[in-house]
Amino acid sequence: MRSTSKPGVAFAAILGVAILARLALLGLLPYGQTVSHRLEGLNDEPAHLNYVRYLVEQRALPIQKGNVREPGAFERGDFEYYQPPFYYLICAPLVAVGGEHRALWLCRAVSLAFGLLSLPVLARILTLLGLSVSERRAGVMFTALLPVHAYFSSLVSNDSLCWLMALLITQELLTRVREAPAVFRTPASGGIEADLRLGVLLGVGMLTKSALAIFYPITLLAYGLLQRREPGKRVMIGAALAIAVSLVIAGPWTMRNLLLYGSPFALEMGFGPPVPGRCSLVAQAHAIAGTVRYFYFPMQHVPRTPAVVALRVFELLLAGVHTLAMIWFLRGRAALSAPRVVALVTLGLVFAGHIALNLRWGEAEGRFLLPALGPIVYVIVAPVFSLAAKVPQGERLSWAYLALLAVHPWLYLVFA
């Protein structure tokens, strides 16, 4: 009994510290791209908050006139109006009731709530991927402590809701492909209710952030795996139903974008004209370095001192080591289960989308990878535990290493 209770107490204590740290960020992070208490605010936050204010004051969806690269965009704070409206529609009634003087804190609290809700969903995903209790707790701990997840879950931004919706869709897909073929004969276990639920999640996800469009091909993959397991019309009808429901929910927003901006996702309004010369090796090397840098630590105000450069080089090496560990771990499995196939394809498509974004606009922020948060945590945690199992006290070493991996970026604040 003692051996099982102590890890549980340690996990609860670490999770409590992580939650307290996020609550502290909620109050300490400055508004906009300013620096206070060694912390830097988000330059996009005023634009996100202006979206909410527009909904409250005008009772209508805003229309974006220019892009973020135009002169005066940050002063006007009107360059996030192209974003899908779901997060902002959740915040607007709270601001209308709470008042303008509480708007910032109310919207930040909404982001915090979505960030915390992501943690139990992540735990369920790691279970579906076959991780043990200790492994999935370590994965939740890693995510709870990771600065990029904590930071964007403490600001006015649609990112934490986007990541929560991505996790919910991932969980739904993994649950479907993991269930026995009898799911199609037993409505209580799935059937049309599960198709409808997936369709609603996809539709609401598309109303949260257009990055979640990557889940459409992944949905087709999941239903394809189900079709192999249970041939017949039922599976394809279910796939068509899920996608149709999602289009009924998100289709009007897509049509609005086409009419207003000439693009289904209006990315040109968000990022501006494509940046030329992004295909060079030098540009892509900078993109890789930037992606790793901002995956670990999202703030930009830390000066480029020798110690900071050394820490960033160390993180690049860590990324390479974890990539090799992931390949070793996956090659050691003769056959991948259907949930693991879906998770790995999700990871691959998110990375492909990130590369495409870099090739067009040079956007290298690591947070753009977090729609694949569940698979990312899986390919970090599972190889670590598998490697550590070969040495004494391997489980404790795994926990210690993953905790240090998550919290080490906070060292940057020492040099801020």
Q: What would the mean pLDDT of 397-412 be, rounded to a whole number?
A: 96
CB 292 within 8 A of CB 319: yes
CA-closest candidate to residue 145, choices 36, 28, 25, 22: 22
List Cα–Cα distances, 206 to 218, 228, 335, 402, in angstroms. 14, 28, 33, 32
Q: What would the mean pLDDT of 104-132 be, rounded to a whole number?
A: 97
Domain spans, the chain: 2-415
Q: What would the mean pLDDT of 28-49 be, rounded to a whole number?
A: 95
Residue 46's pLDDT is what? Answer: 96
Residue 185's pLDDT is what? Answer: 43
Residue 189's pLDDT is what? Answer: 39
Kindly report, residue by residue over 192-246, the tens digit of the pLDDT.
899 999 999 999 999 999 999 999 999 999 999 999 888 878 899 999 999 999 9
Q: Is the pTM of this model over 0.85?
A: yes
Distance CA 262, CA 269 (A): 10
Residue 179's pLDDT is what? Answer: 64
Residue 390's pLDDT is what? Answer: 86
CB 247 within 8 A of CB 203: yes
Distance CA 215, CA 46 (A): 29
CB 80 within 8 A of CB 44: yes
Q: What would the mean pLDDT of 317-325 be, rounded to a whole number?
A: 96
- 404 has pLDDT over 70: yes
What is the DSSP secondary-structure string of 14-42? HHHHHHHHHHHHHHHSPSSS-EETTEE--
Residue 184's pLDDT is what? Answer: 40
Handedness of CA 257, 259, 264, 266 (dihedral sign): negative
Distance CA 264, CA 267 (A): 8
What are the beta bridge partners of residue 36? 39
Residue 279's pLDDT is what? Answer: 83
Residues written for the chain: 416
Alpha helices in 262-305 (DSSP H): 267-271, 281-296
Average pLDDT of the residues of the chain: 92
Distance CA 128, CA 103 (A): 38
Kindly report, residue by residue over 56-96, the tens digit of the pLDDT.
999 999 999 888 888 888 889 899 999 999 999 999 999 99
**Range with the poorest average pLDDT among 257-266, 303-312, 358-367:** 358-367
The token duo for 196 is 């409808």
CA-closest candidate to residue 198, choices 265, 131, 249, 129: 249
CB 92 within 8 A of CB 107: no
List Cα–Cα distances, 333 to 171, 248, 383, 386, in angstroms. 22, 40, 12, 12
Which stretch of DSSP H or E encloses residue 373?
helix 373-388
In the DSSP assignment, the letter for residue 84 is: -
Alpha helices in 99-189 (DSSP H): 103-128, 133-145, 147-152, 159-178
Determine the distance from the C-alpha atom of residue 189 to the mean position of all C-alpha atoms in its chain, rounded to a whole number: 28
- 305 has pLDDT over 60: yes
The C-alpha R_g of the chain, in whole angstroms, comes to 22
Confidence tier at 188 by pLDDT (50, 70, 90):
very low
Report the percentage of the chain scoring pLDDT > 90. 78
Q: What would the mean pLDDT of 343-348 be, rounded to a whole number?
A: 97
Q: Greater confidence, 307 or 2? A: 307
- 183 has pLDDT over 80: no
